[in-house]
Chains A and B, each alone.
Chain A
Amino acid sequence: MATDLKFEYLREKALSREIPDDAPAPTLELDSLDTLWLQVTGTLCNLACLHCFISCGPKNDSHDMMELSTVDDALEWARDYGVKEYYFTGGEPFMHPEIKTMIRRTLDQGPLSILTNGLLIDDEMAGWLADTFESSRYSLDLRVSLDGTTPEENDALRGRGTFEKIITSIERLWDHGINPVVTVTTQHAGAGGEAKRREFFEFVRSRGIDKPRLKFLSPFKIGREERRDRGYEDHERLVEGDLGDTGGEHLQCSSCRMVTSEGVFPCPILIEEEDARMGDTLEDGMESIDLDHPACYTCHVDGVTCTT
């Protein structure tokens, strides 16, 4: 595919260049705030996956759960501005005691995707989500993370026994009328390749979901993933000129911002990174950003977008 060829070219180009130590990072303007991310449960999660790029877990409260009023403020600002789509992530969003209210209020003003590990979606919640999906004016998507087609593959990253629980949640959503997007990170062997991707499609289909929807995400070598595997090499950073003629329009941070209990950040990846915080309000987040973090390199050379 031409898109793959493009990013292969960008990777080769990035590897073959020489970067002076003092080369400045590119600056990127916010073209349009189309995508608003809300870190509704902060860094609190009921799992502690080994490849998590923000070290989320039961004990990480560096970003606390968002108050309902903080979510309401962000939604009001976004409505006045004209945001196109909304995303909830965490941590695990379904740990939030007011998650249903947040979902309803968000869906009243635009389409919503929720990134979840699925473990807390019981029959009652699946039924409520299906009713909400059916009755809402705007679209609702559930993105459920799965990291292997076998318990061995998945549980090595997401924790013992999680494979069966995740599959059960995916099937439960499907049975209630919601077709979730199964999200796969490409950490484990071969998941970035075409053959393994097809295997994932076939696997999901084999569980009775005859319209499989999948999303594959490249790893970010920060957070717990940095400790599991490795961090970024010195050359894995962006400098002025790397973005080429098209600028940064392929980067999600040209059209997104993230709100957490701690303030506003450029994107969902950088919330625990030093100097990434842009301010208290979305108004502060309208400024341009310096692409001076190594994770920005992954978004550029792999063409990563966190959107569905």
Chain B
Amino acid sequence: MTTSTRTVAIFGGVYNNYLSLEATLEDARDAGADAIYCLGDMGGFGPYPDRVFPYLRDTSDVFVMQGNYDQSIGNRLEDCGCGYTDPRDNHFAQISYDYTFEHTSETHKDWLAELPEKFERQWAGLNVRMAHGSPRTINEFLWESTSPDPFLDRMLDECGADLLFVTHTGIPWRRELPSGRWVVNVGAIGRPPNDGTTKVDYFLAHIDDDVEIERRRVDYDHERLAGEVREVGLPEEFAETLETGWWTTCTGSMPAKERAQGPY
């Protein structure tokens, strides 16, 4: 979109994937983004947690929000607060959390603890709100098939927004509500969206007289990351997801409709 006055990028769910983070930032900057918003969850399934921070800290164009994972790591809590109910999901989430906690340096934990929980902006006269899970709860899942229009309208009324960006679920979607307002779940850049591809997702907002939303799919060296997952001794299931594009863990929290799209 070369005609827009300005372009901004919005992504979430890094999950220790410093390679997809690097690729996403490069793609966003190449597309002309002058501001890049990260909606949280730096830690998760991937290796070497400390490698994501140089890309996010002390960069003038990147604005970072706290996700539930960051809140837990930053405040030295004992689990990720992901909101899973399935024991199998919790088993893998705990392995992932314990590894991330152990390998995140104290200075980065302190930084995570101090991150803001929301961003509010005005673009083209629209009130824009960014949140991790939802504007009201950091770990609320806003899935496409379980977020009805009237409910989203109420949520936008309550926070006074015309355009809402969230992450947390890991699967992207966007919807124009009958009221003309928009909700965008930006998905995650840390693992593919359970669609059998290895690409990850983020969104651009092209701002002119109006705001136009564009979904971007990013390639990165997923084979290298999967190799490093194995190298540090994280579960094979985490590597498999990166290589196949299908979620092997944390599927229990998915609604039936989203889960039916994948083999697990």
Contact = CB atoms under 8 A, between A and B. Distances in A.
Interface of A: 1-3, 32, 34, 78-85, 109-111, 133, 137-141, 177-179, 194, 197-198, 201, 211, 213-215
Contact of B146 (A80, A111, A133, A179): A111
Contacts of B252: 213
Interface of B: 77-79, 85-88, 90, 94, 136, 143, 145-155, 251-252, 255-260, 264
A111 B255 contact: yes
Contact of B150 (A1, A79, A140, A214): A79
Given A34-B151, A84-B151, A133-B257, 6 more contacts: A2-B77, A78-B150, A80-B150, A84-B146, A137-B145, A177-B260
A220 to B, nearest CB: 19
Nearest to A110: B148
Most chain B Cβ neighbours within 10 Å, of A1, A82, A133:
A82
A179 B261 CA distance: 12
Contacts of A214: 86
B150 A139 contact: no
B259 A84 contact: no
A111 B260 contact: no
Chain B's interface: helix, strand, loop or mixed, by majority?
A: helix
Nearest to B251: A211
A137 B256 CA distance: 12
B222 to A, nearest CB: 24
A82 B136 CA distance: 15
Contact of A83 (B78, B150, B255): B150
A1 B90 contact: yes
A81 B255 contact: no
A81 B150 contact: yes
Contacts of A140: 256-257
Given A1-B79, A84-B146, A197-B87, A141 B151 contact: no
A83 B151 CA distance: 5
Contacts of B90: 1, 3
B259 A211 contact: yes
The 8 closest A-B pairs by CB, nearest first: A82-B154, A110-B148, A139-B145, A139-B255, A139-B257, A2-B79, A82-B150, A111-B146
Contacts of A211: 251, 259, 264
B52 to A, nearest CB: 24
